[in-house]
Amino acid sequence: MKKLIFEKSSTDRSSFDFPSFKEKNTLPKKFLRDSLSSIGLPQLSELEVIRHYVELASTNFNIEKGLYPLGSCTMKYNPKINDEMAALPAFASVHPYAPQDLVQGSLELMVHVEKWLCELSGMDAVTLMPAAGAQGEFTGLKLIRAYHKDKGIQKTKILIPDSAHGTNPASSALCGYDVVKVSSNEKGILDPKAIAQLLDSSVAGIMITNPNTLGLFEENIAEIAKLMHQHDALVYCDGANFNALMGQAKIAEMGIDVLQFNLHKTFSTPHGGGGPGAGPVGVKEKLIPYLPFPRVIYKDNSYSLLKSNPKSIGRVKGFYGNFGVLVRAYTYMRALGGDGLTKATQMAVLNANYIKQRLREAYDLAYDDKPCMHEVILSDKKQLKYHIKTLDIAKRLMDYGFHPPTVYFPLIVSGALMIEPTETESKEEVDRFCEAMISIAKECEVSPETVQQAPHTSPVRRVDEVKAARNLILTYKR
């Protein structure tokens, strides 16, 4: 068991000392502490502090250590140049209230990010304000509501497929809509007939994750969009998986009215652990009046902020969005260019299909009707006869030096292992992963207990995951 920094503390050392508080300070004496140690901070030398945190950091898994195939999360390598650009003093220290004529470059960058996203998707306008994919969803749904309200219509329902991302029903409920579930067909995609049966005047729209969480392209999307529009309902596309479409498909032409991007996934900024992110929302012409403000506009040779708009849904975040993430995404787009982004998509899809082919004998393929997109879903069906479940396989992968994939999601596949290799992995690394998976499948037959008791190499073995989330211990008590 590793020691906490508090347990390593010793009263005879410190890395830093304030001058004696009482002598130097003019505050009344009763407000002053005797010394820092009285507030309970751990006391260690500078070297001990560094060793402590280096040890913690090296215990953690990260993309720089190896493949991180967490499905739907797009844990790809983020080029360091993106961070360097975001750290340029002219970007990093710009103040949100700086006069507009002093921040023309920053405003111009935002307009360029919007233009790139419009070009890649075919949407007519984009707001950069939402700070995450889920907040983009919420913003998009508010836009749909504002659109209907403006026409004087009250609609109460949003259709959501069972293969959608989990945030979709949550965002709809948060926006005050009733969620109506749509089942996907035996091929894992949406059937327009199933949707037609659910449509009536109370349906405000549908939220389609495309490619869906089974890693499959919703090929009936244009037909579905037509049906929705016939009922004066709008089509929202969760575009977090845009690394399967970028440069290949103009999604707007499939009848999409609202689309959110996850810049922190597709456009390569470090994420995980809850942030930072950016979830810009693209819209068709008819929804532009409702976009949040401020919006950056270009007029008379300069950039400025449009501060209000009568039909706008208002602000969804302070200031203008997560600007640092926008700088990183812009750097990534410019570094790759249109051709590079297209190639990234092709590599993401190729890597996932390569894994699908290499693992098809060892593992059950939940849907095998056609090639997958950027991720592939396996299940533990073939391993259950050895009493081995998805969780065991995921834990065993840690012993082989990989981050486990997303497990037990999507819910429509029992014992799902959702694998997204991303485009930044070489064939050699993908092969190393496949060989580990094949080796684990063999272990299930010959020595199942090795897999059932995994991980063997991590500092902590199996943790009680429910307890870990419900019984957080956030303070150290002596």
Q: What residue ranges bind ligand PLP (CB under 6 A)?
A: 72, 132-134, 165, 167, 209, 238, 240-241, 262, 277, 279
Q: Give the residue with the Cβ less far from ligand PLP, 278 or 394.
A: 278
Q: Are 225 and 193 in contact (CB under 8 A)?
A: no
Nearest distance in Å: CB 377, ligand PLP: 14
DSSP secondary structure string, 306-358?
E---TT----SSSTTS-HHHHHHHHHHHHHHHHHHHHHHHHHHHHHHHHHHHH
Contacts of 58 (CB under 8 A, 6+ apart): none
For the chain, give the number of residues.
478
Type and span of the H or E element at 392? helix 390-399
Nearest distance in Å: CB 296, ligand PLP: 22
Q: Give the residue with the Cβ less far from ligand PLP, 423 or 443.
A: 423
Identify which of 220, 225, 217 has the alpha carbon closest to the alpha carbon of residue 258.
225
Q: How far apart are CA 280 and CA 66, in angstroms?
A: 29
Q: Give the residue with the Cβ less far from ligand PLP, 192 or 276.
A: 276
Nearest distance in Å: CB 165, ligand PLP: 3
């233009």: which residue's tokens?
115
Nearest distance in Å: CB 78, ligand PLP: 15
Nearest distance in Å: CB 238, ligand PLP: 5
Nearest distance in Å: CB 437, ligand PLP: 22
Nearest distance in Å: CB 232, ligand PLP: 26
Side-chain-side CA neighbours of 388 within 13 Å: the count stands at 26
Identify which of 365, 364, 363, 348 has the alpha carbon closest to the alpha carbon of residue 430.
348
Q: How far apart are CA 381 and CA 414, in angstroms?
A: 8
Nearest distance in Å: CB 134, ligand PLP: 3
- In the bound state, the residue with its beta carbon closest to ligand PLP is 133
Triad 450, 455, 460: Cα angle to 5°: 140
Q: Give the residue with the Cβ less far from ligand PLP, 407 or 440.
A: 407
Nearest distance in Å: CB 171, ligand PLP: 9
Q: Give the residue with the Cβ less far from ligand PLP, 404 or 455.
A: 404
Q: Give the residue with the Cβ less far from ligand PLP, 277 or 324.
A: 277
Q: Catalogue the E-assigned strands of 217-294.
A: 234-238, 258-260, 281-283
Tokens of 244: 């399967």
Q: Give the residue with the Cβ less far from ligand PLP, 367 or 386.
A: 367
Tokens of 114: 């919007």
Q: Give the residue with the Cβ less far from ligand PLP, 204 or 214.
A: 214
Identify which of 92, 112, 108, 177 has the alpha carbon closest to the alpha carbon of residue 140.
177
Q: Are 72 and 375 in contact (CB under 8 A)?
A: yes
Max CA separation in the chain (angstroms): 81
Q: Give the residue with the Cβ less far from ligand PLP, 383 or 406.
A: 406
Q: Are 437 and 404 in contact (CB under 8 A)?
A: no
Q: What is the dihedral of CA 313, 317, 319, 323, to 10 degrees?
A: -120
